């Protein structure tokens, strides 16, 4: 079943599905009673979301919503898997709550084969979070603002740590605008091309007192930098670990030498520390990992020897004889459930910030092609026979209405900027829906168009929903 | 799982119920030559290299697919078995270029003293297959073995289809289809000796449904499907297995965590595989994981392409 949902109506769909599950008597009442809180408020909140209203807001036929609700609720096991189409919205966190509510209604969580699965888009975005590369967490998801946890790290590192949460990326750009953030050290990221509303981002990066970039390549961000530190590729030119979507920590290993002058990230950071007057020595990847194991209880059992022998381990893995957890939240099925109950969080549909109007009538959503990766820094080096390049993909009806042809270069305009791109006809789209990949910023600088309205809880911008119009050039 | 008793080469042996003969033999220390068989995919059951003799069975049976039964009397090394394996290898090698089979298979061919030229001149490289479309039939000249020799198909920078080395084992077709990728870009076209693996209407791979995962390369037993880097190095004489090392790491792209085995020669990655027995993706990769490695290594780098 494929539901051609209108971009930005995920909560409407989930709430209509939830209402139908309740109305059809397909809820898992025992699980709701024993493992959750707030069902009554949730039921009240979804009551107005009839199948008909769902259809009107989402564009999905009522019968399709009904079929989905029944199939999901009746399945022996079912997973809700999502990627950035759910999270890259101004209300991305609410989108996720809407899905969690469905799992709680049906008990499709915390059991083998059932669950909520945010699929990670990078080989180590999970690992970055695990290691504390989040503004409010220390390694192992330990809260920065928890004095007891923080002092454990301060003791181990012999240095005081900021007692307040830091900024997420969207807050950082706002802070640059306010002049509160004047220096930036960017490791392995290309925000000059990857962030929404790219012109603003580049202006803010240019305006910094100092910008340091550590990367494999002289990216567009690195070109703006005061200092560039050439780095080795962590997956093939250095040793370490990464954590995949399923919380599985696995070893990466050095296979080839980095180019002359490029060094492993850990070497660079140690050297920078030493210039700043702190001697971190020259620890190996394993020594650094073993320090983490002492400070992060969820990683404590993951020795390099075990990672090697067992093909990776899934956290939490608290001791050397802990096999790790295949799935999370199994505690909710204990009788009585261990730990806090899982709350329903009622959420309301709010349309994308960038409104569709007569002037900007087409919904633009951005994303990836299978053969390319992010801003193309790595995959741009591969001679790919399947590369489509930077295009604006439109439904055949829209192409006809514009009076343009496949391959013709058109002007694409949003409230923030304009780019030119060749038209690609894609029958998988619908009238009023356009797609652009963000892999080819040198050809088509897509993020000039996107909106940086961001979710206050996640700090993630609404890449998935911009309003545009498309103009024939010379018309 | 209970054990079944059987007689293997005159000795009492035991293996779990539900075992194929090839696994039952392996569990008792007897290895079997194979070409089309891989432990981690369904057996295509076509090459007949793995035949063994089973008492009470008139024909030899393929060990890859026949299930063990209680009380079976199996001979893995009788003169009939040795003769059949030798002949199968010779017939295949007389019409197909087997120069890139695995070392194990090569060792078996030596064990059986395989001589592809035993029945006449071998492998006409300019044979009719060179110009024939799948299914196209041409009368043999009777002077030499018909062969599938044909120029390799080089249609992009990622991989080469060298069907002069193809034994039509269907592993690639299965990998492209239901076993792994569900893309169905290739299938068997034609019948009998003219059968070939082909895209729809024989169109070029870049224009076909192929997504360049290369999962067909991973299961090809004869090197007919081969990464371009390896093909070019072999063609120039630069492929040097004795200067290669293999390092296990994790793919740098998405969050699935596919394991990679990087074959490195002279400081450069020359081939990427994924371990077939790893439970994250059972050896399957996508175009980025298998081919997107040229951004690393010791060559100077400054700007992204």
* pLDDT of B1: 54
In a domain, A441, yes or no: yes
Average pLDDT over residues B118-138: 65
Is residue A323 one of the residues assigned to a domain?
no
Q: Which residues of chain A have pLDDT under 70?
A: 475
Pairing relation of β-strands B73-75 and B3-8? parallel
Indicate the range of A85-94, A242-251, B123-132, B149-158 predicted with least confidence: B123-132
**CA closest to B157 among chain A residues:** A383
Beta bridge partners of A213: A186, A228
Chain-centre distance of CA A451, in angstroms? 16
Provide the pLDDT confidence category of residue B118 given band limits of 50, 70 and 90: confident
CB contact under 8 A, A378 and B253: yes
Does residue B305 or residue B241 have the better pLDDT? B241
Helix (H, G, I), strand (E, B) or coil at B23: helix
B130 pLDDT band, cuts 50/70/90, is low
What is the per-residue pLDDT for B122?
Answer: 62
pLDDT of residue B192: 82
**Residue A113 and residue A134 in one domain:** no
Q: What CA–CA distance (Å, rounded) separates B222 from B169?
A: 10
Spell out the SS3 assignment of chain A: CCCCCCCCCHHHHHHHHHHHHHHCCCCCHHHHHHHEECHHHHHHHHCCCCHHHHHHHHCCCHHHHHHHHHHHHHCCCCEEEECHHHHCCCCHHHHHHHHHHHHHHHCCCCECCEEEEECCCCCCHHHHHHCCCECCEECCCEECCCHHHHHHHHHHHCCCCCCCCCCCHHHHHHHHHHCCCCEEEEECCCHHHHCCCHHHHHHHHHCCCEEEEEECCCCHHHHCCCEEEEECCCCCCCCEEEECCCCEEEEECCCCCCCCCCECHHHHHHHHHHHCCCCCCCCCHHHHHHHHHHHCHHHCCCCHHHHHHCCCEECCCCCCCCCCCCCCCHHHHCCCCCCCCEECCCCCCCCCCCCCCCCCCEEEEEECCCCCCCCCCCHHHCCCCCCCCCCEEECHHHHHHHCCCCCCEEEEEECCCEEEEEEEECCCCCCCEEEEECCCCCCCCHHHCCCCCECCCCCCECCCCEEEEEEECCC
DSSP B65-130: TPBP-TT-EEESS-HHHHHHHHHHHHHHHHHS--TTS-HHHHHHHHHTT--TTTTS----TTSGGG
A466 close to A449: Cβ distance less than 8 angstroms: yes
- What pLDDT shows up at residue B303? 60
8 Å CB contact of A217 and B303? yes
Q: Are B134 and B115 in contact (CB under 8 A)?
A: no
> Under a CB-based contact definition with an 8 Å cutoff, are residues A239 and B248 in contact?
no
Domain assignment present for residue A321? The answer is no
Residue A195 is assigned to a structural domain of this protein: yes
Look at residues A119, A148, A173 and tell me which one is the last residue of a structural domain: A119
In whole angstroms, give the CA distance from residue A155 to residue A294.
12
CATH (domain of A19):
3.40.228.10
- Residue A407 domain boundaries: 362-472
Q: What is the pLDDT of residue B40?
A: 86
Using the beta-carbon criterion (under 8 Å), do A371 and B287 form an inter-chain contact?
yes
Q: For residue B278, give the 3-state DSSP assignment.
A: coil
Cα–Cα distance, A417 to A196 (Å, whole number): 11
| A195 and A72 both lie in a single domain | no
B153 touches chain A (CB under 8 A): no
Query: Quick check: A236 and B291 CB within 8 A?
Result: no
The CATH number linked to A447 is 2.40.40.20
Which residues, 6 or more positions from B29, have their beta carbon under 8 angstroms from its beta carbon?
none
Between chains, do B262 and A380 touch, taking CB under 8 Å as contact?
A: no
Report pLDDT for A475.
62
* Token duo for residue A150: 């923080």
The answer, yes or no, to whether residue B72 has pLDDT greater than 90, is yes
pLDDT tens digits for A15-41? 999 999 999 999 999 999 999 999 999
Tell me the average pLDDT across B82-106: 94
Same domain for A192 and A289, yes or no, is: yes
Q: Is A333 inside a domain boundary? A: no
Identify the residue whose tokens are 């199939």: A71
- Answer yes or no: do A283 and A158 share one domain: yes
- Show the tokens assigned to B140: 């043999």
Option in A256, A380, A383 nearest B296 (CB): A256
- B157 to A255: CB separation less than 8 angstroms, yes or no: no
User: What 3-state class would DSSP assign to B206?
Assistant: helix
Under DSSP, is residue B232 helix (H, G, I), strand (E, B) or coil?
helix
Cβ contacts (< 8 Å) between A129 and chain B: which residues? none
- Mean of all residue pLDDT scores within chain B: 91
Residue B246: which residues within 8 A CB-CB, separation 6 or more?
Answer: B261, B262, B263, B264
Q: What's the pLDDT at A441?
A: 92
Cβ atoms within 10 A of the Cβ of B115, count? 14
pLDDT at residue B158 above 90?
yes
Measured CA to CA in angstroms, residue A370 lies from B7, B221, B258, B289 at distances of: 52, 27, 15, 11
Do A305 and A162 share a domain, yes or no?
A: yes
User: How sure is the predictor about B149, in pLDDT bands with cuts at 50, 70 and 90?
Assistant: confident
Q: Are residues A39 and A145 in the same domain?
A: no
Q: How far apart are CA A306 and CA A320, in angstroms?
A: 8
Q: How far is residue B77's CA from residue B84's CA, in Å, rounded to a whole number?
A: 11
Say yes or no to pLDDT of B273 above 90: yes
Distance of CA A135 to the CA centre of its chain: 15
> Which domain CATH number covers A262?
3.40.50.740
Four-CA torsion B81, B85, B86, B91, nearest 10 degrees:
140
Look at A233 and B288 and tell me if their CB atoms are within 8 Å.
no
| Mean pLDDT, residues B31-57 | 94
pLDDT tens-digit series, residues A368-384: 999 999 988 889 889 99
The count of domains in chain A is 3
What number of other Cβ atoms are within 10 A of residue A324's Cβ?
19
pLDDT of the residue at A395: 97
pTM flag (> 0.80): yes
Residue B119: pLDDT above 90? Answer: no
Query: Residue B298 belongs to what H/E stretch?
Result: none
In a shared domain, residues A435 and A463: yes
pLDDT bin (cut points 50, 70, 90) of residue B193 is confident
Q: Which of A61, A88, A119 is the last residue of a domain?
A: A119
For the cut 70, the answer to whether the pLDDT of residue B300 exceeds it is no
CA dihedral A403, A407, A408, A412 (to 10 degrees): 90
Assigned domain for A53 exists: yes
ipTM above 0.90, yes or no: yes
Contacts 24+ apart (CB under 8 A), B11-15: B15/B68
Residues of A in contact with B300 (CB under 8 A): 259-260
pLDDT at A28: 98
CA B150 to chain centre: 18
Q: Is the pLDDT of residue B2 over 80?
A: no
The three-state secondary structure class of B245 is: strand
Tell which of A314, A332, A347 closes a domain.
A314
Does residue A255 sit in the same domain as residue A308?
yes
Same domain, yes or no, for A84 and A134?
no
Say if strands A362-367 and A409-414 run parallel, antiparallel, or are unpaired: unpaired
> Does residue A91 sit in the same domain as residue A140?
no
Q: Quick one: pLDDT at residue B120? A: 75
Per-residue model confidence (pLDDT) at position B216: 96
Which residues of chain B neighbour A256 with C-beta distances below 8 Å?
262, 264, 267-269, 296-298
Residues of B in contact with A381 (CB under 8 A): 292, 294-295, 304-305
Interface test with A, best of B255, B263, B299 (most A CBs within 10 A): B255
Judgement on whether residues A372 and A439 belong to the same structural domain of the protein: yes
The pLDDT-based confidence of B116 (bands split at 50, 70, 90) is: confident
Q: Which residue of A has its CA nearest to B267?
A: A256
Q: What are residue B154's DSSP bridge partners? A: B160
Cβ A82 vs Cβ A76: under 8 Å: no
Would you say residue A343 lies in a domain? no
* Cβ distance of B292 and A259 shorter than 8 Å: no
The confidence score (pLDDT) of residue A303 equals 98
Q: Which helix (H) or strand (E) holds B171?
A: helix B171-176
User: Do A254 and A391 fall into the same domain?
Assistant: no
Quick check: is A291 in a domain? Answer: yes
In angstroms, the CA B32 to CA B41 distance is 17
Residues A159-194: tens digit of each pLDDT: 999 999 999 999 999 999 999 999 999 999 999 999
């Amino acid at each position: 079943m494929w539901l051609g949902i209108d971009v930005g109506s995920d909560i409407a769909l989930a709430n209509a599905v939830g209402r139908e599950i309740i109305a059809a008597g397909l809820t898992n009442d025992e699980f709701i009673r024993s493992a959750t809180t707030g069902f009554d408020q949730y039921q009240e909140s979804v009551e107005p979301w009839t199948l008909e209203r769902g259809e009107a807001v989402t564009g999905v036929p009522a019968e399709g919503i009904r079929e989905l609700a029944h199939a999901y609720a009746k399945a022996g096991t079912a997973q809700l898997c999502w990627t950035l189409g759910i999270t890259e919205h101004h209300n991305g966190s609410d989108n996720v709550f809407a899905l969690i509510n469905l799992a709680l209604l049906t008990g499709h969580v915390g059991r083998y084969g059932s669950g909520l699965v945010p699929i990670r888009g990078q080989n180590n975005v999970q690992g970055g979070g695990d290691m504390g590369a989040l503004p409010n967490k220390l390694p192992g998801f330990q809260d920065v603002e928890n004095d007891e946890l923080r002092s454990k790290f301060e003791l181990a590192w012999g240095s005081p740590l900021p007692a307040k949460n830091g900024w997420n990326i969207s807050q950082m750009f706002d802070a640059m605008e306010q002049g509160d953030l004047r220096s930036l050290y960017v490791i392995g990221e290309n925000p000059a091309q990857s962030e929404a509303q790219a012109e603003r981002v580049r202006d803010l990066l240019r305006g910094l007192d100092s910008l340091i970039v550590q990367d494999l390549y002289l990216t567009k961000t690195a070109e703006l930098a005061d200092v560039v530190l050439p780095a080795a590729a962590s997956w093939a030119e250095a040793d370490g670990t990464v954590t995949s979507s399923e919380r599985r920590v696995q070893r990466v290993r050095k296979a080839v030498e980095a180019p002359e002058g490029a060094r492993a990230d850990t070497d660079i950071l140690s050297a920078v520390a030493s210039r700043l007057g702190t001697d971190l020595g020259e620890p190996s990847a394993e020594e650094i990992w073993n320090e983490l194991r002492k400070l992060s209880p969820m990683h404590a059992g993951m020795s390099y020897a075990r990672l090697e022998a067992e093909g990776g381990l899934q956290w939490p893995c608290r001791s050397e004889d802990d096999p790790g957890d295949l799935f999370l939240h199994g505690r909710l099925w204990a009788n009585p459930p261990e730990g806090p109950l899982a709350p329903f969080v009622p959420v309301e549909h709010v349309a994308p910030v960038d409104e569709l109007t007569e002037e900007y009538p087409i919904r633009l959503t951005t994303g990836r092609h299978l053969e390319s990766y992010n801003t193309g820094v790595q995959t741009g080096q591969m001679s790919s026979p399947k590369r489509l390049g930077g295009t604006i993909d439109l439904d055949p009806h829209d192409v006809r209405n514009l009076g343009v042809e496949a391959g013709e270069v058109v002007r694409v305009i949003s409230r923030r900027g304009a780019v030119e791109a060749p038209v690609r006809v894609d029958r998988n789209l619908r009238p009023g829906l356009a797609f652009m990949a963000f892999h080819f910023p040198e050809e088509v600088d897509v993020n000039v168009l996107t909106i940086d309205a961001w979710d206050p809880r996640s700090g993630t911008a609404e890449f998935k929903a911009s309003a545009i119009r498309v103009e024939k050039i010379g018309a | 799982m209970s054990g079944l008793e059987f007689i293997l080469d005159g000795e009492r042996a035991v293996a779990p119920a539900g075992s194929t003969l090839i696994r039952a033999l392996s569990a008792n220390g007897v290895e079997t030559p194979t070409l089309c068989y891989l432990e981690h995919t369904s057996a295509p059951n076509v090459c007949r290299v793995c035949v063994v003799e089973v008492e009470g069975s008139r024909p030899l049976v393929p060990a890859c697919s026949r299930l063990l039964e209680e009380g079976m009397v199996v001979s893995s090394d009788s003169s009939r078995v040795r003769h059949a394996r030798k002949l199968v290898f010779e017939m295949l090698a007389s019409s197909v270029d087997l120069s890139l089979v695995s070392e194990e298979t090569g060792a078996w061919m030596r064990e059986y003293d395989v001589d592809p030229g035993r029945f006449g001149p071998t492998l006409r490289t300019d044979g009719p297959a060179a110009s024939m479309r799948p299914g196209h039939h041409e009368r043999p000249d009777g002077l030499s073995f018909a062969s599938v020799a044909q120029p390799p198909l080089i249609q992009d920078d990622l991989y080469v289809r060298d069907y002069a080395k193809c034994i039509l084992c269907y592993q690639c077709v299965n990998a492209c289809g239901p076993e792994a990728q569900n893309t169905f870009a290739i299938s068997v076209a034609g019948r009998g000796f003219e059968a070939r693996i082909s895209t729809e209407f024989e169109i070029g791979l870049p224009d076909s449904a192929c997504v360049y995962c290369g999962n067909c390369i991973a299961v090809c037993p004869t090197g007919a499907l081969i990464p371009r880097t390896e093909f070019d190095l072999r063609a120039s004489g630069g492929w040097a297995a004795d200067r290669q090392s293999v390092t296990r790491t994790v793919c740098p792209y998405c969050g699935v965590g596919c394991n990679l085995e990087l074959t490195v020669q002279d400081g450069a990655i020359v081939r990427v595989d994924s371990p077939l027995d790893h439970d994250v993706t059972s050896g399957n990769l996508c175009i980025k994981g298998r081919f997107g490695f040229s951004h690393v290594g010791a060559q100077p780098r400054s700007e992204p392409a």
